[in-house]
Chain A
Amino acid sequence: MFARILALVLKEFLALLKDKRSRIVLIAPPLIQMIVFGYAATFDLKNVPFAVYNEDHGVASRELLAAFDSATTFSRVAELTYDSEIAPLIDGRQVLMVVHFGQDFTANMLAGRSGALQVIVDGRNSNTAMLAINDVREIVDRYNRAWLADHGSSQPPARIETRAWFNPNLESRWFFLPGIVGIITLLVTMLVTAMSVAREREQGTFDQLLVTPLRPVEILIGKTLPGFIIGVGEASVIVLAAVFWFKVPLLGSLLTLYTGIFLFLLSGAGVGLMISSFAATQQQGLLGAFMFLVPAIILSGFATPIRNMPQMVQDITLLDPLRYFLVVLRGVFLEGTPFHLLLDQFWPMALIGVVALSIAGWLFRHRMY
């Protein structure tokens, strides 16, 4: 039995890797994508272009602008002199926001009243807009505190002291990189499995397999293992890249991490093979892969929290193995979550994998075409 499975696995590897195009497709893009996406996926704003419309020219506006200039978030690209210049700049997306100081900004402040700082933001990308507003608010708050201290005024009766656990500088890249590890691992698994049975069916070799003494279980293992091995290999490389290239801390144990990777690959390969066994043609296999992959990624909590979704959609995400894997990855990387706290993530992946693989194995012999 072992020798037969080994032969199947070897055959799958040869079939996958002998063709140069297919070899390149499997190895190069995942690594390139890891690096590129690793840099792309961040909510930390940098060099957001903004314009200043300063009618005040007093000391306060100058000081506040200096605070803007010293922040890496913003970069001043234009000085306006008329009201009417604002709209074209924002409409044409040359700046994300315009900061406007009224004529008596400094005067008001010196008189103990509030100086009004108007911030006009392009809301087309509401998330970027909100992040920019938050950053402006932080700068303003800091300035306010300094001003009150300098001018001997009374501070507000309470202040907030913020501390962030696990990610003290709140680098959003730390959050996304483990997610990208999960996404790319899933993609590779689907590449290897989603069309493999359909292709053999189209070429007639699947019949040839079925008339040999191979049991469906053996074919199943033979078809799962290559995706599994390639997946573990690529996941390892990607994890290394995350740790050593992007310097994401890896606090948890490798055992926990690899348990997660194994179970996730089991479920991913299972779903891929199930799709492939359902499909009569490679085209249907590809479609199936997309129809699974796109929702699986978007609903996994990768970019938008599952908590924000309506209850019904949250229930759907329970079927998504990536959802569990992301919790494992983020937990192990950033929080050092111990094994036992992740059990609730492990068993659903195992269950999805076992169910999907069983369906795939059953379909081997029962799918009519």
Chain B
Amino acid sequence: MSNGTSMGSGKMRIRGLVRKEFLQIVRDPSSIAIAFLMPIVLLLLFGYGVSLDSEHVPVAIVVEQPGADTADFTAAFHQSRYFNPVMYANTRDAEQAMMAGSVNAIVVLRQDFAKQLRDPDGAPIQLIVNGVDANSARLVSGYVQGAWGTWLEHYAQLRGQKFEAPVQMEQRVWFNSELRSRNFLVPGLVALIMTLIGALLTAMVMAREWERGTMEALMVTPLSMSEVIVGKLLPYFVLGMGGLALSVSMALFLFDVPLRGSMWVLIATSALFLIAALGMGLLISTIARSQFVAGQLALIITFLPAFLLSGFIFDIGSMPPVVQFITHIVAARYYIAILQTVFLAGNDWSVIVPNALALVVMATLFLGVTWRKSRKRLE
């Protein structure tokens, strides 16, 4: 009791706060739901549900005058796993099908297809794509080109010829040779989920203490404000790392995403990102002081920017410079860059170090501002 007021008992105070926070977490299962249930549900849903790899695209094939040559050509479509060909006898029916959305593209082989094949100019094959989803349209067009190439080789072979294109393109895709979109979407999802976990766990906790009047009681103890922040951060950090471990295991074992870098780099950078995300939540909570406004802010600031501005789906390099500049304040951007590298490429320090540094800066900034804003006064 003699050294009751000494500053040496900071460890004890933090321990008390951390224990309190853990007990509250255990009592209110919603925090646990955020940390563990959300990753499971979202990863399952999105890991299986979200894919950019189009397969079995419904395509209308119009053959105006069927013959051996056209059958030869359409066989290429029937064999490809990318297409689900539907045969039509005239263009009008096919166009109506596309208007109704039941096919995504139309391939037209005209009446004189067989004859024109022998012309020096070659036969035109008309491809009409639905351009609304421009990305799918491009992919479909690429697949049709592929089917065409297959047919061409086959066609030449049958005639004992060898058709050689002047420039033969050989593609070599590093890190993800089959171009499995899941391999890049799943690490992105991990980052997205960690952003949500981080911000949601802490966005309301400070505001809640203010609204319930417990902050006042805390402040009249010999606690310093940094102790309050550490006491808030630590439990949710542990919880968040648990959620991360779960997400990463699901990525590795359920979705077979390769981990080419080291686990330690993954853990260290994730910890860094989590601190930044928790810091952002704490900052929201501290500024808002009311759960209602904090909730609204969290809804706006966290999810959509992390979804659209982080490079999760949309390539940052292709955005206009101003928007690229804005992406720098989205912490998920750095984390996604690190995750995609650590998972698919390996420990490449030239990617990891600068992005990790950016995360350090963001975490420091968020926590610093939180600390400045939460002075130990009630005003």
- A residues in contact (CB < 8 Å) with B: 19, 21-22, 25-26, 29, 33, 36-37, 39-49, 60, 64, 88, 90-93, 96, 109, 112-131, 133-134, 136-137, 140-141, 143-144, 147-148, 151, 153-168, 170-172, 174-175, 183, 187, 190-191, 195, 199, 281-287, 289-291, 293-295, 297-299, 303-305, 307-310, 313, 316, 327, 330, 334-335, 341
Contacts and interface: CB of A to CB of B under 8 A. Distances in A.
B132 A136 contact: no
19 contacts: A36-B323, A39-B322, A41-B314, A93-B341, A114-B164, A143-B166, A144-B165, A170-B134, A170-B138, A172-B135, A175-B132, A195-B292, A291-B38, A295-B42, A297-B303, A298-B50, A308-B53, A309-B49, A330-B133
A91 B138 contact: no
A179 B100 CA distance: 20
**Residue of A44, A118, A141, A308 with most chain B CB atoms under a 10 A cut-off:** A308
Given A286-B298, A303-B313, A308-B51, A162 B129 contact: yes
B367 interface: no
A313 B45 contact: yes
B157 interface: no
A24 to B, nearest CB: 10
B166 A114 contact: yes
A117 B170 contact: yes
Contacts of B196: 290, 294
B188 to A, nearest CB: 9
B291 interface: yes
B50 A304 contact: yes
Nearest to B324: A40
B344 A123 contact: yes
Contacts of B200: 286-287, 290
B127 A160 contact: yes
A158 B122 contact: yes
Contacts of A282: 204, 291-292, 295
B134 A167 contact: yes
A148 B163 CA distance: 12
Contacts of A199: 292
Contact of A40 (B126, B134, B308): B308
Nearest to B58: A307
B6 interface: no
Given A126-B52, A294-B196, A304-B52, A158 B152 contact: yes
A289 B73 CA distance: 51
A123 B309 contact: no
A76 to B, nearest CB: 14
A114 B167 contact: yes
**Residue of A113, A115, A307, A310 with most chain B CB atoms under a 10 A cut-off:** A307
B165 A114 contact: yes
B292 A22 contact: yes
Interface in B161-183: 163-177, 179-181, 183
A34 B167 CA distance: 43
A293 B299 contact: yes
Contacts of A167: 131-132, 134, 137
Interface string B123-152: 111111111111111110110110010011
B145 A309 contact: no
Interface stretch (B217-225, B228-236, B345-353, B369-377): B345-353
B169 A121 contact: no
B180 A126 contact: yes
B315 interface: yes
A124 B187 CA distance: 10
B304 interface: yes
Given A37-B304, A158-B152, A166 B51 contact: no
A175 B138 CA distance: 13
Interface in B302-357: 303-305, 307-309, 311, 313-315, 317-320, 322-323, 326-327, 337, 340-341, 344-346, 348, 350-351
Given A25-B293, A125-B340, A299 B169 contact: no
B209 to A, nearest CB: 12
Given A131-B138, A160-B145, A291-B38, A284 B152 contact: no
Given A129-B179, A303-B313, A286 B299 contact: yes
A165 B129 contact: yes
Interface string B45-65: 110111111110100000000
A130 B139 contact: yes
Given A115-B167, A136-B169, A172-B135, A123 B298 contact: no
A140 B149 CA distance: 14
Contacts of B305: 33
A286 B167 contact: no
Contacts of A291: 38, 41
A76 B55 CA distance: 33
Contacts of B363: none
A114 to B, nearest CB: 4
B121 interface: yes
B285 to A, nearest CB: 11
B299 A190 contact: yes
A161 B128 CA distance: 8
